[in-house]
Amino acid sequence: MVEGIGRGRPRSESARAAVLHAVDDLLVEVGYASLTMKGIAERAGVGRQTVYRWWSNKAEVLYEASVLDAQHELAVPLSGDARTDVEVYLNALIAFLTRSHAGAAYRALVGEAQHDPDVAVLLASRDILGESATAVVDAARAASGTALSAEQAIALLIGPPFFRILSGHDADDIDPKALADQFMRVLDRP
Amino acid sequence: MVEGIGRGRPRSESARAAVLHAVDDLLVEVGYASLTMKGIAERAGVGRQTVYRWWSNKAEVLYEASVLDAQHELAVPLSGDARTDVEVYLNALIAFLTRSHAGAAYRALVGEAQHDPDVAVLLASRDILGESATAVVDAARAASGTALSAEQAIALLIGPPFFRILSGHDADDIDPKALADQFMRVLDRP
Amino acid sequence: MVEGIGRGRPRSESARAAVLHAVDDLLVEVGYASLTMKGIAERAGVGRQTVYRWWSNKAEVLYEASVLDAQHELAVPLSGDARTDVEVYLNALIAFLTRSHAGAAYRALVGEAQHDPDVAVLLASRDILGESATAVVDAARAASGTALSAEQAIALLIGPPFFRILSGHDADDIDPKALADQFMRVLDRP
Amino acid sequence: MVEGIGRGRPRSESARAAVLHAVDDLLVEVGYASLTMKGIAERAGVGRQTVYRWWSNKAEVLYEASVLDAQHELAVPLSGDARTDVEVYLNALIAFLTRSHAGAAYRALVGEAQHDPDVAVLLASRDILGESATAVVDAARAASGTALSAEQAIALLIGPPFFRILSGHDADDIDPKALADQFMRVLDRP
DNA sequence: CCCTAATCGAGACGGTACGTCCAGTCTTGCA
DNA sequence: TGCAAGACTGGACGTACCGTCTCGATTAGGG
């Protein structure tokens, strides 16, 4: 990647970091609804235009600020036993969606995507949740010899808790063990 | 009309109807993101105070204007054959979430609920999707003798397409027949 | 003047007064160059839109805030002796242009008018300086039987000090007595 | 002062010329109000810093680009007849202030000087208008034997049209012949 | 023939005012 | 006294320009 001939002052990496850091902080302090581009810039000690220069809206900043954390929180080590791994993953997923800051950011983005096409495109460009489940799901599929595609299996695994949490049910009512059972049952038969 | 001693001008039912109508129209014309209380009042030919008097935010107006009507779109007649009914329901659900105006309103509300606690409460107070699935799910549960609770079964049925659609996947990639198969398979075993 | 049927909340006279007062204060405190619509609104404790609703730019606010003061400062009582009145007027004019706050506002407006057509129109709509000189000049013209028109005489009276002050000469070098002499001399001959 | 030993890259004379040329062009194209340092630099194909290095504000650039050239427009040849020369000069002055690009620049600077002390100093450092009138006025003074000082006579000559034009009167209403008459009349008597 | 130094174009930087928009409240006259 | 109309304060929006700051590249001496 060449990036032209590199004329002009180069982008300030410290400004970039300050913005992402400010978003992380503000998300916790004031919540997504009260997160403003103005507030982010001021908190980061950065000009407003600098934020707009590199991210076109607050969804993009939030995405970049949160996506790495999300991947980290949803990464589960494979034990070799598919049933166990699925349950461990489900626990991580539920914790992410209900208790994690990065998860709150992710839910906010999903929310925004429902009425902002730009955010929808941004979100669709990288299926964070789906990616996180891939390893676990592939292992389970391989072990079971199911005919389900990876995509189908992923939706089957993530969908039920995703639906209950985003539509406002009490997260405590979700039983990861039972969900894991149901998931394995679908896979276990041709 | 009696309404107690009724001093002063009585409440205008026509104003209420005009507001709900205006919201329906505007949702189609400008979309949720550009829906404003000001715009609603002007379109309805109603004072802004009148809107605020009856609904405390645009989510409430939208909820009353669109989402309750949504029940009709998701009501499927029971045929007696659980497998068939499940598939018919899934088709209705997918159409609702991807192509219906009421569905767009519902998705917008789910989105708003992710960063506005008031909207979350409003949405949780009435599980529209869950309710719509109850009849189909109960019939399927009765026919199969599964141990799954109604709530578990509902999440299992709705979750997968809900996740795929809200996280921005292409709706055409969803196969209702396969989803119905998977759902029946979980139920079919004790 | 009927002003329609007067529906809606009427303009707040207190907001109007607060804005004009704020402009007066700020002009003294920070000067014209640092006078901003934002600053005016904040100082007046008024919404920004309220300022824009009634005045389309800062020149208009300034004009309204200063014109009355200007008229007051430039009003000289007629003594009956034209020569004396002319000299008194010239002293008032020089004081206005060099030492008065309203005069500073007026000079700023004249300045702005040189590169903003809107301000030029505003200024031309009401010739504050010319009006102030009318009484004195008319009296002098009547006494002398000159053939000069009012407009010519006014320009002859105001022009010389106006030019010296606006083009940056030291105001102390201006001799009102000599200027009055010169003015009377032009008038005194057919 | 020797200016050091002159190490380093010397100033680019072509850059200087490009900037002055760009200012001339832009003044005509977009007007003084829309003239920005950024715009000047871009139009000149020059770095912003380069402009700031040699001129500290846009008034200085404008002064050097336009106003100094203005002297040519105001230079009138002396015929020997004072009355005629005065009228010719007045015509040139009025044309300069109302129709010339350099005149527009000069008026803009006078305007700016009313609220920017730096510009006021710049303008006062060289009385362009006064200088232009010196020859004509001195000739007229010599011919008439008046007691008026050069400064007084200059203000008397330039002031009236200057006032009318800068305060927004219609330039067509100005009668150079009458102004010349009035001017000569003041001079003609002790 | 490099070395040093000051210039050049380009463009990002932190700031700040712009004029617009909307939220939610308040104040009129009319019915 | 409820209603429409519409003005109110407040504050975020995204843009523009300010004057400064880094870049790499260029262009002159001086050693």
Residue-wise pLDDT for C128-151, tens only, equals: 999 999 999 999 999 998 999 999
Residue B161 forms part of a structural domain: yes
Pair (C38, C77) in one structural domain? no
- CATH number, residue B18: 1.10.10.60
- CATH number, residue B119: 1.10.357.10
User: How many angstroms separate the CA of residue B124 from the nearest CA in chain A?
Assistant: 5
Q: Which residue is nearest to nucleotide E9 (CA to C1')?
A: D47
Pair (B81, B126) in one structural domain? yes
Residue A65 forms part of a structural domain: yes
DSSP A44-98: HT--HHHHHHH-SSHHHHHHHHHHHHHHHHH-----S-HHHHHHHHHHHHHHHHH
Pair (C87, C101) in one structural domain? yes
Tokens (6 digits) for A8: 């002009």
Judged against a pLDDT cut of 90, whether residue B5 lies above it is answered with no
Judged against a pLDDT cut of 90, whether residue C190 lies above it is answered with no
Judged against a pLDDT cut of 60, whether residue A179 lies above it is answered with yes
Higher pLDDT, D51 or B57: D51
Regarding chains D and B, contact by 3 or more CB pairs under 8 A is answered as no
Pair (A168, A103) in one structural domain? yes
Say what the pLDDT of residue D110 is: 95
Say what the pLDDT of residue D129 is: 95
Q: Which domain holds residue B19?
A: 13-54
**Å between C7 CA and F5 C1'?**
6
Of A158, A174, A181, whose CA–CA distance to B152 is shortest?
A174
With H, G, I as helix, E, B as strand and everything else as coil, classify residue D79: coil
Tokens (6 digits) for A124: 């669709």
Pair (B77, B49) in one structural domain? no
**Residue B175 sits at the chain A interface (C-beta within 8 Å):** yes
Residue A134 CA to residue A126 CA, distance in Å, equals: 13
Tokens (6 digits) for C105: 């506002």
Of D163, D96, D71, whose CA–CA distance to D63 is shortest?
D71
pLDDT mean over B41-54: 94
Judged against a pLDDT cut of 50, whether residue B4 lies above it is answered with no
Tokens (6 digits) for A58: 């607050």
Judged against a pLDDT cut of 80, whether residue A113 lies above it is answered with yes
pLDDT mean over B25-38: 92
Of the pLDDT bands very low, low, confident and very high (cuts 50, 70, 90), residue D5 is low
Of the pLDDT bands very low, low, confident and very high (cuts 50, 70, 90), residue D189 is low
Pair (B156, B132) in one structural domain? yes
User: How many angstroms separate the CA of residue D38 from the nearest CA in chain C?
Assistant: 19
Task: Determine the angle formed by the axes of helices D128-144 and D82-99, rounding to 10 degrees.
Answer: 160
Say what the pLDDT of residue D1 is: 37
Pair (D81, D163) in one structural domain? yes
Strand F proximal to B19 Cβ, under 7 A: no
Of the pLDDT bands very low, low, confident and very high (cuts 50, 70, 90), residue B7 is low
Count CA atoms within 13 Å of residue A170 on its CB side.
Answer: 3
Residue A169 forms part of a structural domain: yes
| C76-130 per-position pLDDT tens digit | 999 999 999 999 999 999 999 999 999 999 999 999 999 888 899 999 999 999 9
| C25-75 per-position pLDDT tens digit | 999 999 999 999 999 999 999 999 999 999 999 999 999 999 888 999 999
Say what the pLDDT of residue C49 is: 97
> What DSSP character marks residue D33?
T
Pair (B25, B95) in one structural domain? no
Q: How many domains does chain A have?
A: 2
Say whether B155 and A163 touch across the interface (CB within 8 A): yes
E-strand stretches of chain D: none
C163 → closest Cβ in D113, D123, D159: D159
Say what the pLDDT of residue B117 is: 87
Say whether C166 and D110 touch across the interface (CB within 8 A): yes
Q: Report the phi/psi class of residue A144: left, alpha or beta, with left for phi > 0 and alpha for psi in -120 to 50.
A: alpha
**Residue C123 sits at the chain D interface (C-beta within 8 Å):** yes
Residue A26 CA to residue A22 CA, distance in Å, equals: 6
Higher pLDDT, B116 or B182: B182
Return mean pLDDT, chain C: 93
Judged against a pLDDT cut of 70, whether residue C5 lies above it is answered with no
| D62-74 per-position pLDDT tens digit | 999 988 788 899 9
> What DSSP character marks residue C80?
S
C-alpha triplet D154, D157, D162: angle, nearest 5°:
105
Q: What residue type is A172 in one-letter code?
A: D
Strand F proximal to B47 Cβ, under 7 A: yes
Q: Report the phi/psi class of residue A31: left, alpha or beta, with left for phi > 0 and alpha for psi in -120 to 50.
A: left
Largest CA distance in chain D: 64
Contact indicator for C57, C124 with CB cutoff of 8 Å: no
Say what the pLDDT of residue C64 is: 95
With H, G, I as helix, E, B as strand and everything else as coil, classify residue B51: helix
Regarding chains A and B, contact by 3 or more CB pairs under 8 A is answered as yes
Pair (C182, C117) in one structural domain? yes
**Residue A185 sits at the chain B interface (C-beta within 8 Å):** yes
Say whether B155 and A166 touch across the interface (CB within 8 A): no
C-alpha to C-alpha distances, C28 to C101, C103, C113, nearest whole angstrom = 7, 11, 21
**Residue C139 sits at the chain D interface (C-beta within 8 Å):** no
Residue count of chain C? 190
Centroid of chain to Cα C145: 29
With H, G, I as helix, E, B as strand and everything else as coil, classify residue D9: coil
Judged against a pLDDT cut of 70, whether residue A4 lies above it is answered with no
**Å between A159 CA and E22 C1'?**
36
Pair (D83, D134) in one structural domain? yes
Pair (B146, B174) in one structural domain? yes
> What percent of chain C stands above pLDDT 90?
87
pLDDT mean over B39-47: 95
Residues 32-91 of A with CB under 7 A from strand F: 36-39, 47-49, 52, 57-58
Return mean pLDDT, chain B: 90
Residue A86 forms part of a structural domain: yes
Burial state string for A79-92 with b = 16 or more CB within 10 A and e = fewer than 16: eeebbebbbbbbbb
Say what the pLDDT of residue C8 is: 86
Pair (D50, D97) in one structural domain? no
Residue B172 forms part of a structural domain: yes
Residue D1 forms part of a structural domain: no
- Whole-prediction pTM value? 0.90
Q: What residue type is A70 in one-letter code?
A: A
Which burial class, exposed, middle or buried, applies to A17 when counting CB atoms under 10 A from its CB (0-12, 13-18, 19+)? exposed
Query: Which bases of chain E come closer than 7 Å to a protein CB?
Result: 4-31
Residue A12 CA to residue A27 CA, distance in Å, equals: 23
